[in-house]
Amino acid sequence: MLFFKKPKLKALPLLLSLSFIIFSCGKDDNPTPEEEEEILGTIELVKTYGGSGIDEAISVVEAADGNYVVFGTTRSTDGDLTGRSGSDSDYWLLKTSKTGEIIWSRTYGGSDDENAARITKTNDGGYLLSGYTSSDDGDVSGNEGFQDYWILKVDASGNKQWDKNFGFAGSDQAYKAFQTSDGGYFITGFFDVSASGGAGNDIQSGSGNDLQKGVLHGVGEYWGIKLDANGTKQWRRYFGGTNNDRSYDALETADGGFLMTGTSESVDFDKIDPKGSYDYWAVRLTSSGDLVWTKSFGGAEIDNSYASIKANDGNYIMVGDSRSSDQDVTAPRGNADAWMVKFDDNGNKIWQKSFGGSQFDTAHSIVQRNNGDYILSGHSRSNDGDLQANNGFNDAWIFVVDQSGILKFQKNVGGSGLDFASEAIETSDNKIVAVGNTESNDQDIPLNKGSKDFLIIKLK
């Protein structure tokens, strides 16, 4: 009897082992956000692209096929730039593989300067490119004077589908355009209302803005424009005071309205709670562009915000840099710090955090990971405080904080020259891809092709 029972006793642990293996494999194939693979900040790839001129990457998205589409500005006519002539600057759109090989390259513009600001994905698999132009020829369908908002819609292969320009006689600069839940588009940036003579505000009921106030407003106003699905203007609204007010980012809110964010120097009109020299400034709108509220964050010194997100919990975060050490800024590191401020849908501050060292440090982008952490990118001159090293005059800087704003890791990347990161994203395979520009040709930077190059950094 014992001879026949022994195989049964051995079979039980074998079955348990097989069950454990099967269960574990299924669990690893579909990790929950809490089990998502940690990013340690190890450099996997650093690549440069460009020619002998100035080439600056500003924004990046992951394509549907898992490769990367990088958007920026170029003045080069050689190197990685082919079929382009002239000394003016153009939009440059570059698709690369995961290992950094160029898949295709496109430039867009006219005979004058174009300056890139942001790329966002559209529902049809294409992309929306935003920035500003001084041209009125080539790919640019018109110009109202000096610099105009220029929005370019391209398909998944970078082929132009349509473009739109908006502006007046002065400097009008778009910084982000994105597709909205109704299939249309929203654009944020700033314009010179003094040059427009007060025009540029399609007056709606319930707003404090009117033409008389517009004439008195200053040289920079937040300027939001809503388009329909065909790119036709539905409304335009501006907000600010008598000094510089510049919106660098915007997002759609849960109720179909919009939050415009950036920096304000004003102390009057729509700016009702000034903190100091320059403040982080949030402007909350309804879906039709009416003003709901405005809110300032910062201290007595210069505080500039460049990016914002809607967090997974429905609140908002703005990032940039702060030179203040009072009011909303409670724990400065020195000089200028990367500064995060989180607030709710009524503009009430929830928490704020500073990151950096004794020199100048800033954040220019923020995204939230699937596990709830935040990825920020910018640049740093520090080698102390939250920074362990500095490779040269200025390094690209990427760091991750948890949902409470606690620093998890940071990484500086660069050489002995000037190196900047302008945007970082999380990829579908749990990596960080950051883009920016570099003038270095040593240490972390493998090759310099000219004055400034597109810089792509991948961390794992």
Give the dihedral sign, CA 322/327/329/335.
Answer: positive
Count the Cβ atoms, other than its own, within 10 Å of residue 259: 24
Pair of tokens at residue 200: 């540029």
- In angstroms, the CA 375 to CA 388 distance is 18
State the DSSP code for 439. -
Nearest to 220 by CA among 246, 253, 247: 246
- Give me the phi and psi of 18, to 5 degrees please: -65, -40
**Topology of domain 42-459, CATH:** Methylamine Dehydrogenase; Chain H (2.130.10)
* pLDDT attached to residue 35: 53
- Start-to-end CA distance of the chain, whole Å, equals 57
Residue among 151, 140, 144, 152 nearest 113 (CA): 140
Quickly list DSSP for 238-292.
Answer: EE--SSBEEEEEEEE-TTS-EEEEEEE---STT--S--SSBEEEEEEE-TTS-EE
Q: What pLDDT score does 432 carry? A: 98
pTM of the predicted structure, to 2 decimals: 0.91
As a whole number of angstroms, the distance between CA 283 and CA 293 comes to 6
pLDDT at site 412 = 98
Give me the pLDDT at residue 176, please: 98
How far are the Cα atoms of 129, 133, 146, 159, 230 from residue 163, in angstroms, in the given order? 9, 12, 18, 12, 10
Amino acid at 234: Q
- Host H or E run for residue 195: helix 193-196
The amino acid sitting at 303 is D
Q: What is the pLDDT along the chain (460 residues), one digit of tens a residue?
A: 333 333 333 343 333 333 333 333 333 444 455 556 788 899 999 999 999 999 999 999 999 999 999 999 999 999 999 889 999 999 999 999 999 999 999 999 999 999 999 999 999 999 999 999 999 999 999 999 999 999 999 999 999 999 999 999 999 999 999 999 999 999 999 999 999 988 999 865 444 444 445 456 778 899 999 999 999 999 999 999 999 999 999 999 999 999 999 999 999 999 999 999 999 999 999 999 999 999 999 999 999 999 999 999 999 999 999 999 999 999 999 999 999 999 999 999 999 999 999 999 999 999 999 999 999 999 999 999 999 999 999 999 999 999 999 999 999 999 999 999 999 999 999 999 999 999 999 999 999 999 999 999 999 9
Q: Which two tokens stand for residue 72?
A: 């920026």
Residue 32 confidence (pLDDT): 52
CB-facing half-sphere around the CA of 44: CA atoms within 13 A: 15
Q: What residue segments make up the domains of the chain, in order of their start?
A: 42-459
DSSP 212: H
**Angle at alpha carbon of residue 320, lines to 322 and 329, rounded to 5°:** 35
Helix (H) or strand (E) holding 9: helix 2-29
CA distance 91 to 105: 11
Q: At 32, list the tokens.
A: 């929950």
pLDDT score, position 83: 85
Q: Residue written as tokens 């004077």?
A: 145
